[in-house]
Amino acid sequence: MGKKFRMLNMAEVERTLSMSDVLGLVEKAFEERGRKRVQMPPKSYLFFSKFSGDLRIMPAYLEEMDEAGVKLVNVHPNNPSKYNLPTVLATIVLFDPETGVPISIMDGTRITAMRTAAASGIAVKYLARKDAKVLGMLGAGYQCLFQLEAVSEVMKIESVKIFDVIEKKAENLAVMARKKLGLNARNVATAEEAVRGSDVVVTVTPTRTPIVQGEWVAKGMHINAIGADAPGKEELEAGILNRAKIVIDDWEQASHSGEINVPLCKKIITRANIYAEIGEIVAGAKPGRVSEDEITVFDSTGLAIQDVITAWRAYEVAEEKGIGQEIEPLYC
Ligand SMILES: NC(=O)c1ccc[n+]([C@@H]2O[C@H](COP(=O)([O-])OP(=O)(O)OC[C@H]3O[C@@H](n4cnc5c(N)ncnc54)[C@H](O)[C@@H]3O)[C@@H](O)[C@H]2O)c1
């Protein structure tokens, strides 16, 4: 590892990694977590309540790989309509664990979308039925094309149904999914239509009023609940969790701010309802799906190890290929 300091903007990050690279990296991060070889205190939050937004600080160290860093990331759902900015914007700083020297700063917005989508893909790989072919997507924001790309790498998708409260966004996403990913995608008029009959459902909205209703969810369905990542957010009617095998990414984060946070507070479920962390399944400590009939839910809050492992590889590729700007270390 050299000690040069490299700066990468979003376009430069884009030139470093493909979705299949990130799927492999995120699977590895989950495995490292399952083998207890990472340090990752839960996210810290600053709440900008008067601006309906928040900022999170997410540090991680993958010990075996000697990769360390911190992501700083906001969530401001009004950004797209009010300021023409993404809801989620992130910056990642990497550190040499041997000396503590910062070695890179890069845009983390694209990495966030790719690693979040890759987590979805890995959850589908371990938890969805092998014959799953119909995908329902709730939400059509920035994350969603990445979500479709990652899931399409692990699932043979025959059709995709997309719903968003803003119809135009669902329409646009369907067009992009057809053009860019070659998927048989269409937008639908209701959340119910997107969910009923789907084998896999991915929810990626900032809602605090659950969208997915229990009666739409059939045996054998797998749901990736991605949108809930702050206290009070909730996308699934809580009764669904009582019928499901629940897999989370991290207990501290999920109980504080993931899909399970509201049902836990209301005592609709308890910790005993949680089957596993995804890392335990990837590391082989517990099986994933074991029957065709079970309903499985993956509650993703997003782990700093996903960011650090992805950013580190982006940095390595950028070093090899001379992508980005090499500048004097900041401490000089
Ligand atoms: N789990 C993770 O690791 C992770 C990572 C990134 C983002 N997120 C979360 O995912 C969510 C979406 O992020 P984004 O960057 O795509 O945001 P975005 O603002 O770009 O998109 C959100 C979309 O959801 C739609 N929407 C809002 N309420 C809805 C409802 N009730 N039904 C259907 N559609 C609805 C909006 O119209 C919008 O198109 C946010 O809550 C964000 O915090 C989670």
Compute the average pLDDT of residues 207-227: 98
pLDDT tens track for 144-184: 999 999 999 999 999 999 999 999 999 999 999 999 999 99
Q: Is the pLDDT of residue 1 over 50?
A: no
Cβ 75 under 6 angstroms from ligand 1: yes
Mutational pocket test of ligand 1: of 116, 148, 192, 205, the residue with most ligand atoms within 8 Å of the beta carbon: 205
The active-site residue, picked from 71, 125, 161, 233, is 71
Atom of ligand 1 nearest to the CA of 302: 3
- pLDDT bucket at 329, cuts 50 / 70 / 90: confident
**Tokens of residue 167, six digits:** 């119809």
C-alpha 212 to ligand 1 mean position (Å):
14
C-alpha 154 to ligand 1 mean position (Å):
22
Domain with CATH 3.40.50.720 in the chain: 118-303
Cβ 297 under 6 angstroms from ligand 1: no
Under 8 Å between Cβ of 300 and 12:
no
Cβ 189 under 6 angstroms from ligand 1: no
Percent of the chain predicted with pLDDT > 90:
97
The three-class DSSP label of residue 74 is strand
Q: How far apart are CA 121 and CA 314, in angstroms?
A: 20
C-alpha 210 to ligand 1 mean position (Å):
13
User: According to the model, what pLDDT value does residue 330 have?
Assistant: 79
Domain with CATH 3.30.1780.10 in the chain: 5-111+305-327
User: According to the model, what pLDDT value does residue 202 have?
Assistant: 98
Our measurement of the distance from residue 298's CA atom to the centroid of its chain's CA atoms, rounded to an integer in Å, reads 10
C-alpha 100 to ligand 1 mean position (Å):
35
User: According to the model, what pLDDT value does residue 256 have?
Assistant: 95
User: According to the model, what pLDDT value does residue 231 have?
Assistant: 94
Cβ 231 under 6 angstroms from ligand 1: no
CATH topology for 118-303? Rossmann fold (3.40.50)
Cβ 140 under 6 angstroms from ligand 1: yes
| Phi (first) and psi of residue 161, to 5 degrees | -115, 130
C-alpha 170 to ligand 1 mean position (Å):
12
Cβ 206 under 6 angstroms from ligand 1: yes
Report how far apart, in Å, the C-alpha atoms of 155 and of each of 119, 126, 208 are. Answer: 14, 11, 29
Q: How far apart are CA 277 and CA 46, in angstroms?
A: 26
Mutational pocket test of ligand 1: of 88, 144, 298, the residue with most ligand atoms within 8 Å of the beta carbon: 88
Under 8 Å between Cβ of 47 and 54:
yes
User: According to the model, what pLDDT value does residue 328 have?
Assistant: 86
Q: Is the pLDDT of residue 290 over 90?
A: yes
Round the CA-based radius of gyration of the chain to a whole number and report it: 19
**What is the residue-averaged pLDDT of the chain?**
97
User: According to the model, what pLDDT value does residue 221 have?
Assistant: 98
- CA-nearest residue for atom 18, ligand 1, is 141
Residue (of 273, 275, 270, 248) closest to 259 by Cα position? 248
- CA-nearest residue for atom 20, ligand 1, is 141
CATH topology for 5-111+305-327? ornithine cyclodeaminase, domain 1 (3.30.1780)
- CA-nearest residue for atom 23, ligand 1, is 141
pLDDT tens track for 223-273: 999 999 999 999 999 999 999 999 999 999 999 999 999 999 999 999 999
- pLDDT bucket at 332, cuts 50 / 70 / 90: confident
User: According to the model, what pLDDT value does residue 3 have?
Assistant: 63
Q: Check if 71 is active-site.
A: yes
Q: Is the pLDDT of residue 4 over 80?
A: no
Tokens 């993956």 identify what position?
A: 298
Cβ 116 under 6 angstroms from ligand 1: yes
